[in-house]
Amino acid sequence: MPLVKIKLEQDIFLAFKRMSNSGKDIDEAQRELAKDLASAIDSYIRSATIIVPPGQVITGAGGGVAPVVGATSAPSPTAIIS
């Protein structure tokens, strides 16, 4: 799914609104705001679709571990994030 900036903006707005309506002392309110902002940003980043073009095929991994079918190794072209 592509990044949806308006969803991030709404989540940030709600975090500030919750802080201003919390009635808690400033330190506790700021800690909750930081936690809410971190959650909003984390959700935003994790909602991204990342397409990584295939890199170089791995022919051996060493250490007795066989490569997974379709495994690739760097360098590979730049990933596309939407």
Instruction: Provide the pLDDT for residue 48.
Output: 87
CA distances, 25 to each of 2, 19, 35, 55 (Å): 38, 10, 16, 52
Is pLDDT above 80 for 78?
no
Position 52, amino acid: V
Q: For the segment 4-14, what is each residue's pLDDT rounded down to a tens digit?
A: 899 999 999 99
Instruction: Provide the pLDDT for residue 80.
Output: 72
Alpha-carbon distance of 11 to 22, in angstroms, equals 16
Instruction: Provide the pLDDT for residue 2.
Output: 77
| DSSP-derived 3-state class of residue 2 | coil
Domain boundaries, the chain: 1-48, 51-82
Q: For the segment 32-74, what is each residue's pLDDT rounded down to a tens digit?
A: 999 999 999 999 998 888 776 666 555 555 555 665 665 555 5
Q: Please, which residues have CB within 8 angstroms of residue 63's CB and are 6 or more apart in sequence?
A: none
Instruction: Provide the pLDDT for residue 27.
Output: 94
